[in-house]
Structure 1
Amino acid sequence: MAGLDSGPAIPVWLNEDDLGCIICRGLLDCPVTLPCGHSFCSSCLKSLWGSWAEKPRWACPTCREGAPQKPPLRKNTLLQDLADKYSRAVRELEEGGRGAGPELAPGPAPASRRRPAALPAAAQRSITEVGRELGELVEQLVDITRSLQNQRSLSQSEADNELTILGTAFSSGVDLSLASPKLVTSNTSEGKMRDVLHALEEIQEKLRENFTWKEAFEKQTQVELLETPSTSSRPLPDQNHPAPRKASRFAQWAIHPTFDLRSLSCSLEVSEDLRTVTVSHWPQSYPWSRERFKACQVLCSQALSSGQHYWEVDTQQCSHWAVGVASWEMNRDQILGRTRDSWCVEWMGTSRLCAWHMAKELVLSSDKPGVVGIWLDLEGKKLAFYAAANQEKLLYECEISASYPLHPAFWLYGLHPTNSLIIKQVKT
């Protein structure tokens, strides 16, 4: 069997999400891995389990897969080693005075694994032009991989040769800071193809997220440069601006909730108008309160106990979030959607939009909605979520039977400071 060093070298770049604990929102410390495959800090998991009175008591905080008795917790030395290396790399960058962006914090790359010399020249071109080229290249690689999957008669050696070629093209043509370690984990050709395809699909999603706002910024800059002082000036007709959004069909029931500071996690901060919540760079020193969430969550002040209500949330500045409703009595140690008295839709940050209630997950789609509309009909006992960027498109609908008031509820996955959610003004 070929050694690990045979074939093209594929650099693996990590960001903090890859090595984060969902409980404490920091880098993994003495990580343990449960039978379901999810990993957490050992002390965080033990503390969380100790606070749970409901069953399954030994459940995974992420997927809620349970066990009849407490599973043995053994340190995952590989994850610990990766977390230590990541911390050292970030420290070296900070000490060397070279800042890294919040989404990427790579360590110094070996000479054999640096990006091609042609990339800096490409970076001088239009951001959107480079983005399109990268997107087209990844799309071609996805097609190649799917074609390989469909060739059932392809022999093991032929498939390995094809994947070697694919790996060479991949490592020489795409910014591998977006790549996934899964590219090199399988031993069979079929497994390699699945892993490569999954990694490429993740890269496609990240490219879309990274370049959507940059493209919009470029277009807006071009318009501002072309505009004259005249009040009658207009953008040129070929600017391809999106059509203005139509008035919401829920406008007559629109409310504009505000965040309740009593429930605000110490990892979050809110704007002066109480309609933007942001992950802080460091923990805030809010007064202690039994009503304050431990995780990056917050409720709104408005208690909705009757009638029909609609509000919208801008999610474009957040990489992993959940929005929905919950009772004020929701356990402050729990996560939105994992309790009997909370409902939500959650963007997992990995091309997966899900609905959650009572720790049960329902996968909805692989598209991230830029604006989420929440429709709460307490008379009809219905809760619905809509993608509302242009006009409302139903994402998920369910029945609710709550004898208590419900509050708009929010969760921000807290590994990246400046992640934010905004309560929007509904278009009327």
Structure 2
Amino acid sequence: MATSSGPLNEELQCSICLDVFTDPVTIPCGHNFCRTCLNKFWTSTQTCFCPLCKETFSKRPDLMINTNSGVIMGGEVRMIKRALTHLEPHHRVPRLKKHKLINAVENLEDYICQKHERPLDLFCRDDQMSVCLSCTEGDHRTHNTVPIEKENREKLVKKKTDVQQMIQNKMKKIQEIQHSVELQKTNMEKEKSANVELFTNLIRSIERCQSELLKMMEEQQKAAEKQAEDLIKELQQEITDLKKRNTELEQISHTDDHLPLLQMHSSLYSRPHIKNWTENSIDTDVNVLPLHRALTQLKKTHKALNKKLSKSGMWVRYMDVTLDPVTANPYLILSDDGKQVSVGDIEQDVPVNPKRFDDYCVLAKQAFSSGRFYYEVQVKGKTGWSLGVARESINRKGDISPSPEDGLWSMVLINQRQYIACDNPAVGFSHRRTPEKVGVFVDYEEGLVSFYDVGSRSHIYSFTGQTFTEKLYPYFGPGHNDKGKNSNPLIISPVS
């Protein structure tokens, strides 16, 4: 019997010929053999026994046909034999060892050239398709072809490199965000300390003004009370004198001797020395001059505090943004109040100006070079737009390169659902919901530009770790009209 060079599963192998079963049978001890192999074995021996376990039988037993599903029979056996017979030289002959052996595939025709019926083991880089060796002698004779394994390996290496680069970029972005958070935390602690001191001084100033005011009012009250007390004493003394005079007059009125009375008339009837009290009164008004001085000092302190807070960047300016028609592309239509911009179908007759953009965009009139500011733009109903800030020296002629290196920090919507943050590298993503209003926040000193979905009060994207050295202008791009699908204007909205 033929033997196989490779190991076979014991369930499929006859232990006599060491080959795949042919007409397998089972003997009483339960072992399986080829019918022919077993008969030849027993013919060559004087007694019948199992070639494997050596169990002896008194007479030659009846052979049972093996119906075990684990044993391959019939045509399947012949197929395996042919496969093994074909495969055996490939493990032994040096020339055949170079042949490529692949795992079994479901659709073998997909791996065969339909034109030449040869294996598709080459790849044409010019036409980006798999070819066979005969193809390289025909239509692809002058093309750049390589073994398909090499092409696949190089593409996998490139894809792996790209993925690793993406991972590195994401990790770098995480590090930038973490650094920004740490920097912001450090700066915030400094600002907290500085502003606690500012407000402490303000509180002390208010308390000092309050103390001085209360002290002044108490002094005025005491002075008024002292004045009233003195006046009352003086009035009481005059009342006592008048009562005494009244008693004297009462006594004289009962005498009949009128001559002495008349002689005493000048002294008795003279009016006692009494002050004119009509001009005397208690001043009920409060002297407000010290109060005015205290409030004036308080206003100065408050003004100084506001100035320090503004410089520290703790306050955010809500910008009243208006569009600058001098910078607008000729196809853009601006509203009279400078709050809306859309794209028209006709180029307008506008003066030539070096500040005017060739691209479909426009800047605001307002610029800033310090502090924090924020504005909001309605984008409802639009399928495409771009928003952000641009430095003063941005190139305005030709197509704009939307990147921080070229002076533009922007976010773009395309095809109604796809958002792109024009960072380096650009970051594409799909937002959970379609914003109807976008908020743009900039911290000049921190190098931060952030975009927010105003409706959901959620963050969309942030440019971090930027360095600003010029004036920054709010930037607006309403996008192409798209046959009326994107005709809605961008609307600068008041911040609520």
Question: Comparing both structures, which one devotes a greater share of its residues to helix?
Answer: 2
Q: Give TM-score scaled by structure 2 length.
A: 0.34
- Structure possessing the higher radius of gyration over alpha carbons: 2
Structure with higher RCO (Cα < 8 A, 6+ apart): 1
Q: Give TM-score scaled by structure 1 length.
A: 0.39
